Structure formats: structure tokens, C-alpha cells
Amino acid sequence: MAPVATTTTTLTTAASSVPIKTLQKTDASASSSIPAPLLSSHTLDNEIAAHLTPAIGTQFKESFQLSSILDSPEKIRDLAILVAQRGVCFFRDQDIEPNDQVKLGQALGLAGGKPKHHGLHIHPLPSTFGELGEQIAVIDEKFNKDQYDDEEKSEHASLNWHSDITFEPVPSDFAILKLHTLPPQGGGDTLWASAYAMYDKLSLPMRELLSGLTAMHHAPTFQTAKRENGFLFRGEANTDVARGAEENRGGSLTAVHPVIRTNPVTGWNGVFVNKAFTKKINGLKKDESDFILDYLYRLNESHDLQVRFRWEKNSLAIWDNRTTLHCATNDYHDAPRSGNRVVSVGERPYYDPLGLSRSEALRDAAGQR
């Protein structure tokens, strides 16, 4: 493979001046500018209670309130970096209100470097909205029941592993979910898995193969709901606002994304496919695609790259959809379980050939100390 030369320039954003590593490609394609990883100021280190597993998940102290950092750009930036590094962070007994949840979701995305003109996602299903507005999806037992016909629903809970809205051309970077109502008898835990750790498990030849591939993502359950109920998706009519980015319009709910995605905040590579929305790896025969996707999904199910969170009233989770997958546990039947979710729309997914695996990056950092 021909060598790739790099230069460094500076990208100025509203939040900060971020160095940019520019790839001078040796082939006929145009050069592209890829952000260098962000460096933390460690302003939140004293608020961390524990890293829950080596691969993923960080718990904040119960005394910490996210509402206390809403007017602190430096702390929001450090939170964005921490979530991007650890995949998901958990907070107990939060007092943050829905409007401030919206404010924090957008601020995290901007701090992580997303385009300024990208906003928060508007879910395509009209039934997901309550009286809190289009940018806040009400997640409850009805939300889950409306999407899946009981006769078609599999009893394998692991089939619902997903990253949010990968059916959109510009999917999510950060998401925030706060639950205020829980099943009286317990249940409804959520699991997250690290896409970084999935990539770490791949051999070098497999990484090389997958790094040159893209996959088609779609949303068949949403299309079924639309067809059976006769509604239009949000963002489908010409008079509708876009679903967080101008590219996220229309009714197809299909997108093509790289199989290996680089997180711009960390510069680390992760596997970017999921059972719920990934249809097929492009360029491969169906049997080949199914074989590879099945292998990647089996990696997703490895418990050494997962963390499981048991919700309490007013618990809140913030995760990075670029480098995690998650799956709710629907073991509470028709019992109440509800809360408010905000999903930030990030950047178009890309693969950086200079990106590192998480383990490589941490090993290099340890060697520099």
C-alpha cells in the first residue's frame, strides 16, 4: 500500500481550536481532512465513582448533577471526551429537566466536533412524540410494543442490539436517556457493548478486509408500521423539517455506512454494524455477507465487552452511538417503564486508515507516561 503523508492545520469551531490531521492521498482521489483526537482537561475526574468494566461503562458519583455543568463548556467538552472513550456513562437521581436535556444533547455533539448546522434527531415515527416536542422521544412500553407485532417478535432478546438511527445518512453521535418510571417488580435493564472491543478482537487480515467495505442499513420495522397504519414519516413531506440534518429527509430510511467506523473524538476504530438495522455488506454475495455479519454479531454478544445497567428512578445514561451498541431487556411485559430520550445527530460516518484500535491507543499512551 502506498504511503500516506500527513500535514497538520487548525480547525476553528465555536468551542475550541482543534488540530486537523490532513491525509494527502497518493491516488487520484481528493484529500480529506480528519479531526485529530480531542484531549481532556480532566475537569470531571473527581466526579467519577468507578469504571464498571475494563472495556466499557463509567459510573459517576451519586452527588454529581449534570444540571451543574450546563453553563461550563470545558466540563461539557470533557464529558463528551469521556463518553467517547468509555462508551457509556451512568448518573443516578438526576434533576435535569427535559429542556435542559435537549440543551446538553446539542452541546455534547458540538463539543465533540459535529457540524454546527446539525441538530437533534426527530424520530420518523410520529407516535413516539408526547407533549415534550419533536426533539424529545418518549420511550415507554407502548413505544416498544408499537414497533413489533407479537406474532413476529422473536423471543431472542439479543436480536434487538442496535446503535441508534443508523438507517439515517447522518446518524447519531451522542444520546441521553433519563427514565422516570420503572416496572414495580423490576426488570428493564439495558446492556451496552463496545464496538471498540469488537474491533480489538479482529485479526489484522480481518480488519484489512472490513476496513474497505460498506454496509446497507435500513429500518424494516418502521416501514411495516408506516405501511400498516398509513402515516408519513417525520421528515418525509416537503413541508417537514429535516430529521436533525438536511440529508436525513424522505421516506426510504436507508443509508450506506462503513463497516469499520472511526470516532473523531478518540481516533479509535470500531465495528459499525448492528442486528436491528444492518441489512447487507455491499459488494459481497448474500451468503458471504450473512456469514461475516453473523460473526460480528457473535462478537457483539461476548460478555467481556458489555456492561449492564439496572435503572432506578431518575437514572440517566449518556452513550456514544458511534462506538457502542445497546439492547433493552424487555422482561417487564406490560408494566410501566418510561422516560425521555434525546439523540444528537453527528457527522457522516467515515473510516480513517490512520485510526488506531482502542487497545493500541491505550498501550501507546501507557508507554508515553
Instruction: Give Cβ neighbours of residue 120 (< 8 Å, ≥ 6 apart).
Output: 102, 105, 106, 135, 244, 342, 343, 344, 345
| Residue bearing cell 445497546 | 326
Task: Show Cβ contacts of residue 347 under 8 Å, excluding neighbours closer than 6 positions.
Answer: 113, 114, 115, 118, 170, 173, 264
Active site residue 156: no
Question: Which of helix, strand or coil describes residue 25?
Answer: coil
Given the residues 140, 341, 352, 358, select the one marked as catalytic: 341
Q: In DSSP terms, which residues pair with 8 in a beta bridge? A: 21
Helices (H), 87-153: 98-111, 141-147
In the annotation, is 333 catalytic? no
Catalytic annotation, pick one of 78, 140, 164, 320: 164
Active-site residue identified among 162, 217, 234, 249: 162
84 CB-near residues (< 8 Å, 6+ apart): 38, 112, 263, 265, 266, 320, 322, 323
Contact 162/276 with Cβ under 8 angstroms? yes
The residues near 273 (Cβ < 8 Å, ≥ 6 apart) are 215, 259, 281, 293, 296, 297
Q: Is residue 364 annotated as part of the catalytic site, yes or no?
A: no
**261 in catalytic set:** no
Which residues are part of the catalytic machinery? 162, 164, 326, 341
